[in-house]
Structure 1
């Protein structure tokens, strides 16, 4: 699921126009550019039927959209939501937005470098439940 999700998001023109290739799992590379998207898996819910375990799994993904300004972080978040709205092609089975995370201003000591020389970054994010048909 992880590799397919990143490939899908990288192929989305609207999101790529903002974040480029900076769509990563877990951490953003030091020296990378902003805006960027970091994702972590915050849990999974496997479905069951009367016949046993179904292959459908709901992965809770926490998305953090980072920017040099609050406006760029929010613009990236909005582009990400639009991209996820189209995530229906197999093996994906849809997305449920779970709610916003509080916005954050962070003085970073690691991670991407701001082009304006500042070490202040802004985050806007949300959780989503991504339904995926596992192949195992």
Structure 2
């Protein structure tokens, strides 16, 4: 699912115009220069019936937009939100925006000039049984 989600984002010309192909699973590459996007799974729950796994899965995904300016981080996040919120097609049964927040781009005590806007989405999708 993560690969399909990243492919869906990279197929969106407006996002690629801002970040190129820098949409990364888990963490950014050490060579990435802002702006870039990081996609990571926060949790994953399978739906079960009395006969076992139903084939439906719900995952909470965090998508972080990193940029050199607040305005650019927000613009990237808004493009991602517009692309994904309410999306459904093929294996993606539904994608919903859950949270949208602005965070420091580094851990406490670390100095950075980067800005980060974070989106949490819930993805409902089918998984082979």
State the TM bucket, normalised to the shorter chain: 0.7 to 0.9
SS at match of 2:114: strand
Q: TM-score, normalised by structure 1?
A: 0.83
Map of 2:119 onto structure 1:
126
Unmatched 5+ residue regions in structure 2? none
Query: Separation in 2 of the partners of 1:105 and 1:23?
Result: 16
Q: TM-score, normalised by structure 2?
A: 0.87
Q: Give the drift of 1:7.
A: 1.0
Q: Give the drift of 1:91.
A: 0.6
Query: Which shows bigger deviation, 125-134 or 45-54?
Result: 45-54
CA RMSD in angstroms, aligned pairs only? 1.8
Map of 1:96 onto structure 2:
96
Q: Give the drift of 1:92.
A: 0.7
User: 1:55-94 residue pairs with structure 2 within 5 A?
Assistant: 55-85=55-85, 87-94=87-94
Kept after mapping to 2: 8 A contact 1:15/1:83: no
Q: Which has the bigger relative contact order, CA under 8 A and spacing at least 6?
A: 1
Q: Give the drift of 1:65.
A: 0.6
CA 86–96 in structure 1, closer or farther in 2 if over 3 Å, else same: closer
Map of 1:115 onto structure 2:
none
Residue by residue, what CA displacement relative to the aligned partner does 1:55-99 show, whole Å, maximum 9, x if unpaired?
110111011110000111110000011111363111111112111
Q: Give the drift of 1:15.
A: 1.2
| 1:52 is the counterpart of 2:58 | no
Q: Give the drift of 1:16.
A: 1.1
Alignment length (residue pairs) = 125
Query: Separation in 2 of the partners of 1:42 and 1:57?
Result: 13
Query: Separation in 2 of the partners of 1:30 and 1:72?
Result: 20
Q: Give the drift of 1:49.
A: 3.1
Query: Separation in 1 of the partners of 2:125 and 2:36?
Result: 24
